[in-house]
Structure 1
Amino acid sequence: MRVIDSADAAAAGAAAAAVREGLLVVLPTDTVYGLGADPRSPRAVDRLLTAKGRGRDKPSPVLVASVAQAEELARKAPDVAKALMAEFWPGALTLVLPSERLGWDLGETNGTIALRMPNHPAALELLKEAGPLAVSSANLSGRPPAATVGEAVEQLGGKVAVYLDGGPCPGGAPSTIVSFDGGLMRVLREGGVGRGELARFGDVA
């Protein structure tokens, strides 16, 4: 287990190396600290779910470094989803999109993938180095999400290979989660992006 200042020039590389080995990393985001794993590795995703004490019925969303990275994973994204990416990413908006038969085992996703681009430089640097990451909040299920790396260490300890310390995360509202039914946007969880903001792009349910 290593705790590394996210401002260290070698931090993203060390965390990316751990990801490639199928190990877990903790990273700061624009909301709370996240627990990340390689989404291509069923063993790594299982390790993430086991570390949290979380079931497969709650599949992990995937963080990306760019809109282009997202479009590689969800090539059938509707035009309204692309417009939302352009407007609100990086930021607190998660989009549930068709997953294009990626072959990733993220849990019970029903053929979809939940994508978000976080607004945090350390997270984006890691995502550029490691590629997309399956991420959940860095806490044990049923306990508050970690706002500091110390809180993440206290809850997850040696289950995580590398902790990136980016200082306190701002917390606040979680990301808004939106799925799509034709041209209709369905809000699955209200958060940092309000319904009024979404309504500028189409009908909202």
Structure 2
Amino acid sequence: MIERLSATPEGIAAAAALLDAGGIAAFPTDTVYGIGCRAGDDAALARLFAAKRRPAEKQVPILAASLEQASALGYAVDDRVRALAARWWPGPLTLVLGAQEGAASRSQAFRVPDHPVALSLIERSGPLATSSANRSGEPETYDADDVLVAFADDDLLDAVVDGGRAPGGRASTVIDMSGPGARIVREGPITREQLAETVGRID
């Protein structure tokens, strides 16, 4: 049975403890509800993919509370990345960062969500590998009731933090900063022109 937790300090602490123990939880973000597990917990990530019925070879982004959390996982942060994060985080910008020694993959997408519940949870639990809280190919979820319906037929999702209705909106802009240049991977709310004001030329 999926545990429904309130978006209070006590509920967020309970969700963080569940994540620390290898669980997976859903929570609101600044677009839709997400489903996440501790970054680097391979067993929990496998459960997340199983819950979504999504191929395990597809990488998922990591939601962090700060650029320092991304760097601590072994990914490269340079002056361009710092400038982008200073201007657009928290917010609708996903940064793809290149690996340094000790990183789990050659590159990784990171974002800091602009939502108080998500940020509170990540600050307590650490960075979370996160995907949208829905079965692969099915509609996205916008509140805890949606999540409970979407994952009702198995026991892979442990809990949902009920933070009210997520605001919706466009998915984030994704920019690849893992190499010497900058490349737009996905258009979103932040335009190429706005990004170029910060990093200069974009391929």
Please report the TM-score for the alignment, with normalisation by the length of structure 1. Answer: 0.91
Change (3 A) 1:129 1:169: same
**Shift of the alpha carbon at 1:99?**
2.9
SS at match of 1:68: helix
Change (3 A) 1:181 1:23: closer
* C-alpha contact (below 8 Å) 2:184/2:202 kept by paired residues: yes
- For residue 114 of structure 1, the aligned residue among 89, 98, 109 is 109
Taking the TM superposition and a 5 Å limit, the aligned residue runs for 1:99-138 are 99-102=99-102, 104=104, 109=105, 111-138=106-133
Query: Which residue of structure 1 aligns with residue 202 of structure 2?
Result: 204
For 1:179, the aligned partner's letter is D
- Cα deviation per residue 1:77-124 (whole Å; 9 max; x = unaligned)? 2321111000000001111112324454xxxx5x11111100011111
Query: Which residue of structure 1 aligns with residue 140 of structure 2?
Result: 145
How far apart, CA to CA, are the structure 1 residues paired with 2:89 and 2:79? 15
* C-alpha contact (below 8 Å) 1:179/1:185 kept by paired residues: yes
**Shift of the alpha carbon at 1:183?**
4.5
Change (3 A) 1:41 1:15: same
How far apart, CA to CA, are the structure 2 residues paired with 1:33 and 1:101? 32
* C-alpha contact (below 8 Å) 2:135/2:150 kept by paired residues: yes
How far apart, CA to CA, are the structure 1 residues paired with 2:85 and 2:182? 13
SS at match of 1:200: helix
- For residue 177 of structure 1, the aligned residue among 169, 174, 179 is 174
How far apart, CA to CA, are the structure 2 residues paired with 1:9 and 1:187? 37
Query: Which residue of structure 1 aligns with residue 40 of structure 2?
Result: 40
Change (3 A) 1:138 1:199: same
Gaps of 5+ in 2: none
How far apart, CA to CA, are the structure 1 residues paired with 2:74 and 2:102? 9
1:163 aligns with 2:160: yes
**Shift of the alpha carbon at 1:75?**
4.7
* C-alpha contact (below 8 Å) 1:73/1:99 kept by paired residues: no
Q: Say how many residue pairs are matched.
A: 199
**Shift of the alpha carbon at 1:184?**
2.5
- Cα deviation per residue 1:55-80 (whole Å; 9 max; x = unaligned)? 13320110111122222235522321
Runs of 4+ more than 3 Å apart: 101-104
Please report the TM-score for the alignment, with normalisation by the length of structure 2. Answer: 0.92
For 1:43, the aligned partner's letter is A
Query: Which residue of structure 2 aligns with residue 24 of structure 1?
Result: 24
Change (3 A) 1:101 1:41: farther
* C-alpha contact (below 8 Å) 2:98/2:178 kept by paired residues: no
- Cα deviation per residue 1:119-169 (whole Å; 9 max; x = unaligned)? 011111111110000000000000121111111111123321110011111
How far apart, CA to CA, are the structure 1 residues paired with 2:40 and 2:177? 25
Gaps of 5+ in 1: none
The more displaced of 192-201 and 81-90 is: 192-201
